[in-house]
Amino acid sequence: MQCIDLRSDTVTMPTPEMREAMAKAVVGDDVYREDPTINKLQALAAEKLGKEAGLFVSSGTMGNLAAVLAHCARGDELIEGNLSHTFLNEAGGISALGGVHAYPLPNQPDGTLELDAIQAAIRSTDDEHQPHSRLVILENTQNMCGGVPLTVEYTQSVADLAHQRGLLLHLDGARLFNAAAALQVPAKALAEPADSVMFCLSKGLCAPVGSVLCGSREFIEKARRIRKQLGGGMRQAGILAAAGIIALEKMADRLGEDHCRAQRLADGLREIPGIVLQPDRPATNMVYLNLEKDQYLTASQVATRLEEQGILVDVSGPRRFRLVTHYWIDDDAVNRTVAEFTRVMRG
């Protein structure tokens, strides 16, 4: 019985075409900037996001950290959502390694930060007791709010506010191409207001490793030095970049299929007594659901019973799940998942 892994889109395996490209990749020493496949990927990424330059990094966490350290000095402060990945799931790297202080604001249900709250959070430059506000971080799509996309208009409004007050905007675009597919706009339009943007190749785009950080040439030169300090100079990394090129050229355009399957999955799960979707309809490829309070089973118990049938789901709370569709989840997997949830919930 084939396993159905819905825990995350990070579990995606490289496609056969990616594996072939990796095997045949022309490589060089990227620390010397001599790996032609790395150079091609970085240029392609920058072009797609409308930025001057790109930098291949090992992970989204490294990309976000390098961006923060390039933008901020020790003792500076950044403003971000309390449900953002950089605040919750990056091991406090901005503080531990950069000495940068985070000012978390409540994420609204639609993933945004209120403009008035951002305005109020910006510190006075005249008060020596306060850190200097340097940066705002937005996450698109916003994972913990249900994988919701942030619009071009909203991102531009945050950028305008930040720039008016002398701050910069970094976009944690780990799933930026999912946002672009959901909103039916180019990824370039979503990235344009930001001073820097990171996106992951290793989630819905199906590449095995890596992310790309994009911005101005001056910014990328700073980030390159920080990448080196973080141990991220990866020599003949063109083997990895070869898969990333296919991810950008071919996988980004099919993400709508994953969104459609997430909708079908949600529609099936919604009909099962004891399950409540939150939000009611998935915005992209993430389906969040809760067990009703009168259910005798916990989320962990349900997950264990599903795993016995070859279905893996992410438990995100005592009564809460996240299910993520991706390239390796087909229509049969959706149908089987709904059927097994039905069986488990009926006891």
Query: Domain check: are 42 and 106 in the same one?
Result: yes
CATH number (domain holding residue 330): 3.90.1150.10
pLDDT at 252 over 80: yes
Calculate mean pLDDT across residues 226-245.
97
Query: Domain check: are 89 and 129 in the same one?
Result: yes
Query: Domain check: are 149 and 298 in the same one?
Result: no
Query: Domain check: are 165 and 279 in the same one?
Result: no
Calculate mean pLDDT across residues 271-295.
93
Query: Domain check: are 125 and 240 in the same one?
Result: yes
Q: Which of 217, 237, 252 is the C-terminal boundary of a domain?
A: 252
Per the prediction, the chain carries an average pLDDT of 97
Indicate the pLDDT class of residue 279, thresholds 50, 70 and 90.
confident
pLDDT at 288 over 70: yes
pLDDT at residue 2, as a whole number: 86
Query: Domain check: are 224 and 309 in the same one?
Result: no
Q: Which of 230, 252, 274 is the C-terminal boundary of a domain?
A: 252
Query: Domain check: are 174 and 74 in the same one?
Result: yes
Query: Domain check: are 219 and 282 in the same one?
Result: no
**pTM above 0.95?**
yes
Query: Domain check: are 325 and 237 in the same one?
Result: no
Indicate the pLDDT class of residue 276, thresholds 50, 70 and 90.
very high
pLDDT at 209 over 70: yes
- Report the domain count for the chain: 2
pLDDT at residue 1, as a whole number: 66
Give the 3-state secondary structure of the chain.
CCCEECCCHHHCCCCHHHHHHHHHCCCCCHHHCCCHHHHHHHHHHHHHHCCCEEEEECCHHHHHHHHHHHHCCCCCEEEEECCCHHHHCCCCHHHHCCCCEEEEECCCCCCCCCHHHHHHHCCCCCCCCCCCEEEEEEECCECCCCCECCCHHHHHHHHHHHHHCCCEEEEECCCHHHHHHHHCCCHHHHHCCCCEEEEECCCCCCCCCCEEEEECHHHHHHHHHHHHHCCCCCCCCHHHHHHHHHHHHHHHHHHHHHHHHHHHHHHHHHCCCCEEECCCCCCCCEEEEEECCCCCCCHHHHHHHHHCCCEECEEEECCEEEEECCCCCCHHHHHHHHHHHHHHHCC
CATH number (domain holding residue 109): 3.40.640.10
Query: Domain check: are 148 and 269 in the same one?
Result: no
Domain that holds residue 265: 4-10+254-345
Query: Domain check: are 155 and 165 in the same one?
Result: yes
pLDDT at 291 over 90: yes
- Per-residue pLDDT tens over the stretch 135-191: 999 999 999 999 999 999 999 999 999 999 999 999 999 999 999 999 999 999 999
pLDDT at residue 294, as a whole number: 83
pLDDT at residue 293, as a whole number: 87
Calculate mean pLDDT across residues 274-278.
94
pLDDT at 247 over 70: yes
pLDDT at 332 over 90: yes
Q: Which of 207, 227, 252 is the C-terminal boundary of a domain?
A: 252
Query: Domain check: are 161 and 235 in the same one?
Result: yes
pLDDT at residue 125, as a whole number: 85
Calculate mean pLDDT across residues 294-321.
94
- Per-residue pLDDT tens over the stretch 101-141: 999 999 999 999 999 999 999 998 888 999 999 999 999 99
pLDDT at residue 238, as a whole number: 98
